[in-house]
Structure 1
Amino acid sequence: MKQLNIMQIQELIPHRHPFLLIDGIEDYEPGEYAVGYKCVTYREDFFAGHFPEEPVMPGVLILEALAQTGAVAILSLPENKGKIAYFGAVDKCRFKGKVIPGDRLCLETRIIRKKGPMGIGEATASVGGKIVARAELTFMIGA
């Protein structure tokens, strides 16, 4: 298993606090897949407004965390060093559960198709082995 800490992740993808939404990579294969995680704490800025009485991680940020995990997979290829992976589309998206403070959000994105600078990742987020979100994410590699 290949692991990456937060400093190594920042060498691959351009995201930084407060928008870097992955804390570590537990395994990855360049161009194929990445498995990461986010330790969700009550101190996340978004919980102040989403929702004050019942803090829930916004679904769009779960998708972004999955996309960042996929970006690690695709940008770890030597030919993509220093490039950026942009969102092209989100398809087949389903939310199946809440992510709340104290959860360890597991993130897995597998690259299922690539053609030139574009590709599709099959992404799944889970908490405690229970799927909370799944989607197909289309990405485009840019300079």
Structure 2
Amino acid sequence: MGMQYDSNEIAGILPHRYPFALVDKIVDGEPGQWAKGVKCVTVNEPFFQGHFPGKHVMPGVLLIEAMAQVGGVAILALPENRGKLAFLGRVKDARFKRQVVPGDVVEMECRLTRRRGPIGVGECTATVNGEIVVTAEITFAISSAEA
């Protein structure tokens, strides 16, 4: 097993806080290379108030954001990137295959495939019970927190 972080440790790497902290734990990975994270979806998520009343479905854009946060942990866990921010630059080829509902445990993996200076690309996949929920290529830019 590689990287493992609980929610408190993730908060030391990522700036996201409630209601936008979308990764409950990191279960494996290698800094600068890849990370695997988990989101346990509950009916108490604030977005279910409006998405949708009577038919709770996790918004696809939040699934993309959750995958990006897993990738953010992978890149920001490098010692030279601690305290920096990873901004979402582009989402390419997002494919949604299944809805995510309360009770689902979403497992997300982001593999960093290219990096040139502060710009990088991650190949991301989210699954529930081994079934693909969404795949996407995510481009990010690393910046100092002061910028």
Give yes or no for TM over 0.5. yes
- SS of equivalent residue, structure 2 residue 98: coil
Give the structure 1 partner of residue 72 of structure 2.
71
Q: Distance in 2 between matches of 1:42 and 1:78?
A: 36
* CA shift for structure 1 position 75: 0.1
Runs of 5+ consecutive residues of structure 1 not aligned to the other structure: none
The aligned counterpart of 1:48 is 49
Note the 1:1-143 alignment, pairs <5 A.
Answer: 1=1, 2-143=3-144
Structure 1 runs, 4 residues or longer, greater than 6 Å off? none
SS in 1 for 2:134: strand
* Aligned-residue offset at 1:53: 1.3
Q: Give the match's secondary structure for 1:12.
A: coil
**Mapped partners of 1:62, 1:88: distance in 2:** 16
Distance in 2, Cα, partners of 1:47 & 1:7:
24
In structure 2, C-alpha distance between the alignment counterparts of 1:79 and 1:8, rounded to whole Å: 17
User: 1:60 and 1:101 mapped to 2: Cα distance?
Assistant: 16
Q: TM-score, normalised by structure 1?
A: 0.99
The residue matched to 2:88 in structure 1 has which SS? strand
Q: Cα offset for 1:28?
A: 1.4
* Structure 2 gap segments, 5+ residues each: none
CA distance in 1, matches of 2:5, 2:29: 9
State the distance in 2 between where 1:12 and 1:3 align.
Answer: 12
Q: What is the number of residues matched between the two proteins?
A: 143
- Give the letter aligned to residue 80 of structure 1: N
| SS of aligned partner of 1:98 | coil
How much has 1:77 moved relative to structure 2? Answer: 0.6
Cα distance in 1 for partners of 2:139, 2:116 equals 11
Q: Name the % identity.
A: 55
Distance 2:9 2:64 in 1: 21
1:22-64 CA-partner distances (Å, limit 9, x unpaired): 0000001000000000000000010111011110000000000
Q: TM-score, normalised by structure 2?
A: 0.96
